[in-house]
Every structure is written in C-alpha cells, then in structure tokens.
A = this chain, B = another copy of it.
Amino acid sequence: MIPDDVVSPLPSQRALGDLVTDVLREMITGGRFQPGQHLKETELADALKVSRGPIRQALARLEEEGHVELRRHRGAFVSTLTRTDVEEVHTLRGAIERLAAGRACTRMQGAGFAEMDEVLEQMKSVDTKIDPEDAVRLDLQFHDIIYAYCDHGRVQRVWESIRGQVTVFLRARNASFPDFLEVGYSEHKELRDALALGDPQAAQDGIDKHIVGAYERLKRLNLPDR
C-alpha cells in the first residue's frame, strides 16, 4: 500500500463541466461579469477552449445556485443581486445551518473544535490588520466546518448551492461596512462556545442569533427590491 502522501494528486480528473462551473462561478462572484450581462454559450466555449457541452452543464448548475438566469432560447444572464435574494438566502441558510449545528455539536468531538480554533485564531489576527478578502474566506471556512461535521449529505449540498451567493453578500458587506471586521472574531467565538456545550438546543439558539445578526447588517445594504 502506497501512502496517500506520495501519490501524485494531479490527475484530479474531475469532469470538465465541473471545472467550467468553478471557473465561471469565480468569474461571476468575483465581479468579472456585469450583473445582467448576456453570457453566450459560443463565446464562453471559445474563451475557455471547450465545447458547448460542458458550458451548458455549467450554466445549468449556476442557474440552480442563483448566479445566472436562464431564459429559454435567450441564454444565460448574470443575476442581479436583490433585496429578495438576500432575504431568501439568509432565511434558508438559517434554517439549514440550525439543523447542521444541532447535529454537528455532538459530532465535532475534539477534532472539529480544533479546526474551529485554528480559524478563530486567524480571525483574531485579521481583526488587527484588515484584509477584507481574508475575512470572507475565514468566515466561510468557519461555517464550512459546521456543515462538514453535521454528517448530512443533503444539507451539505444545499449549503454548497447557496455558498457562492453568501460569498457575494459578504464581499458586498465588506465593501460597504468595513467596521464589521471588529465583530468577526467575537461573534464566531461566541458561536463556537455555544456548540461546545454539546447541546443541540443551545447550538441551534447560537445559530439563530448568529445568522440574524449577519442578516441585520446585510439589510442595511442598498439593493434593488427585485
């Protein structure tokens, strides 16, 4: 048996459509495309040097994630961020993360909390020297741990389907309200301590409080209604 450490991890061999999905998602969430922009299959295929097949697969998935809108015989249009989207994403996230936390708090054991503490440690340092992109990354990383340990494939998938939009929201928030960086650490530390009680009810209450707080800040963003 050859240990995992020495095998070449290169031939990842994911489906081409999955790679295209990731690339396009990053381009959209990273602001490389304008909201409302018309993405044409042939253009994308030419640009990414693949055929239309994987492109269509990627666009279908991005539509499920809410990043593009697919209009029949018209093509894909980059979604515009609305107040309704923020509300939907956050209420849905609250619902599933509540479930995830209730399960995770009894499954994380030592390993999970160690991972969390590592992230928290980095958050503390971000609080001093501010890099918005790092803050977004750490925030997501913290919550990824909860979903990873909740041991629930379907919840994990729902999270993955809204994770990209959550990223967009966090970035937008950082751009408008840089003051949040100061509360990043303390709020997550509080949530971690709630989880550490190992009581599902306490974990769920912790999530409710955490998500509501995040939503309240986001609501102050100036967004179109729909």
A75 to B94, CA, bound (A): 35
* Complex interface: chain B residues within 8 A of A99 (CB): 91-92, 94-95
* Complex interface: chain B residues within 8 A of A158 (CB): 92, 158
CB contact between A152 and one of B15, B60, B88, B103 (< 8 Å): that residue: B88
A103 to B84, CA, bound (A): 14
18 contacts between A and B (CB under 8 A): A13-B72, A15-B72, A64-B64, A88-B152, A88-B154, A89-B154, A91-B99, A91-B152, A92-B96, A92-B99, A92-B154, A92-B155, A92-B158, A94-B99, A95-B95, A95-B96, A96-B96, A158-B158
Q: With an 8 A cutoff between CB atoms, is A162 at the interface?
A: yes
- B-facing residues in A51-106 (Cβ within 8 Å): 57, 60, 64, 66, 72, 88-89, 91-92, 94-96, 98-99, 103
Q: With an 8 A cutoff between CB atoms, is A153 at the interface?
A: yes
Q: With an 8 A cutoff between CB atoms, is A220 at the interface?
A: no
CB contact between A98 and one of B57, B95, B153 (< 8 Å): that residue: B95
Q: How many residues on the A side are at the interface (Cβ–Cβ under 8 A)?
A: 24
* Complex interface: chain B residues within 8 A of A89 (CB): 154
A92 close to B15 (CB less than 8 A) = no
A94 to B204, CA, bound (A): 14
Q: With an 8 A cutoff between CB atoms, is A217 at the interface?
A: no
